[in-house]
Amino acid sequence: MLQALPYHLKVRDHFALQTKTWNFFAAVNTKEEQLAQYKTELLKNTYKFDVKADAAIYEKVEKAKALLGLEQLPVTVYQAQYTDEMNASIVFLNNEAHIVFSGRITQLLDENELLAILAHELTHVKLYSTLQGELETAERIIMAIAGNYHSEPAYYETARLYRLYTEIYCDRGAYTVTGDTGPVITSLVKIATGLDKISAESYAKQAEEIFSTASGVKAATVSHPENFIRARAIQLWHEKKEAAEEEIIKMIEGATDLDQLDVFKQQELLQFTRKFIQLLLKPDWFRSNLVTNLAKQYFADFSYDEEVMSDEQFIEAISSSHAGIKDYLGYIMLDFALVDGSLEQIPFGWAFQFAETVQLAAIFDAIVKKELQLSDKKMQQHKQKTMAAWYKLQEGEKEQVVLEDDATA
């Protein structure tokens, strides 16, 4: 059974909380004149397949509609003019669906592959119709925000992931109609490559090899084609159905990359950063005016937390983080180690100790050496000297800073 993916629901829930924005987009209705204008433009720039003359295409449309539960949906299929680029798209207006082929799709694809493509496009309507149209509203909101030049990169990343998950969902719709992963994969690759013959099995193995040999590979950039993601995702769903969701999510999103945060990971990283800084600044001696001012540059509402503690889960989150996140945390420690000269060498000594405890010692050492332009020997001397200053300060003090069962004394 086709169900919206968790990411779709997450985006929906996120924007549903923004009542004014949600109500504005939910209230937008397609007017009859807009539909008429769109149809006119289609007729000007396409060839409209005729129900009788092109019966083979519409027979596939009807089969897909029946298996997707869209029997009452009016569908018209067109062939675009003036373009050689191969593509298929669908527009859903006023409860009518219009599918447009570009390039030589109808010549390139065999019968089952053409059925898969039609089913894929119609599954977009299936998604739009889910949950009283809420997912269609959510999609229009995130696409509108991401399309704004002034929007934060996190919204673009959220839109990119939303689109990718939508393609994953629609591939499942194509699979539901064809009953086979083969046409779903070969139609995808044929359109992307223009090749007349494709082995679905070979391509699925190729996709599997990528993920089995390259740690951290995900659908991240244009340099890593998402077709591999989609091919592996439909194969996993064929083999495991709903049990494959966790593996598919990991494949698509991977470890959090500082340069590719969606709105959800951005919020998670903000919360994590706040806790990280609170832990770093837990010693009373580290709470000077300059240090506090720097903390408030990170978070305007920053406050010290006497109860904040780290645990194995926190340490593991750091250990399993993307290299960019580890560097980011390392530079946070350097910021606070340098901000108040009146504290002399003590903040650096504590930072070296803190980095060791949270498993960032190598990262922090490399950052300090680079930014202070120290030789290996000078770096070692700096580390020993500053840690000695911190050890001297904390003698006799009892401050539980890091692990609940391992107080620093």
> 248 and 281, same structural domain?
no
Q: Residue 31's pLDDT is what?
A: 56
> 270 and 196, same structural domain?
no
Q: Residue 224's pLDDT is what?
A: 41
Give the count of domains, the chain.
Answer: 2
| Residue partners of 118: CB distance under 8 A and separation at least 6 | 57, 60, 61, 64, 77, 99
Q: Residue 393's pLDDT is what?
A: 86
> 158 and 33, same structural domain?
yes
Q: Give the amino acid at 56.
A: A
Q: Residue 403's pLDDT is what?
A: 42
Select from 253, 271, 300 the last residue of a domain. 253
CATH code of 54's domain: 3.30.2010.10
> 214 and 101, same structural domain?
yes
Per-residue pLDDT of the chain (409 residues; tens, 9 = 90+): 789 999 999 999 999 999 999 999 888 665 566 667 788 888 889 999 999 999 999 999 999 999 999 999 999 999 999 888 999 999 988 889 999 999 999 999 999 999 999 999 999 999 999 899 999 999 999 999 999 989 999 999 999 999 999 999 999 999 999 999 999 999 999 999 999 999 999 999 988 888 776 555 554 443 346 899 999 999 999 999 989 999 999 888 877 788 889 999 999 999 999 999 999 999 999 999 999 999 999 999 999 998 989 889 999 999 988 899 999 999 999 999 999 999 999 999 999 999 999 999 999 999 999 999 999 999 999 999 999 999 988 775 544 444 444 434 3
Q: Residue 405's pLDDT is what?
A: 41
154-183 as b/e: b if 16+ CB within 10 A: bbbbbbbbbebbbbbbbbbbbbbbbeebbb
Q: Residue 120's pLDDT is what?
A: 98
In a domain, 119, yes or no: yes
Q: Residue 408's pLDDT is what?
A: 40
> 174 and 44, same structural domain?
yes
> 301 and 243, same structural domain?
no
Select from 223, 253, 283 the last residue of a domain. 253
Q: Residue 214's pLDDT is what?
A: 56
Q: Residue 30's pLDDT is what?
A: 57
In a domain, 30, yes or no: yes
Phi and psi angles of residue 377, each rounded to the nearest 5 degrees, phi first: -65, -45
Q: CB–CB of 181/235 below 8 Å?
A: yes
Q: Residue 84's pLDDT is what?
A: 86
In a domain, 350, yes or no: yes
pTM for the whole structure: 0.87
d(CA 27, CA 35): 17
Closest CA to 282 of 183, 162, 404, 170: 404
- Containing structural domain, residue 375: 263-408
In a domain, 258, yes or no: no
Select from 206, 221, 253 the last residue of a domain. 253
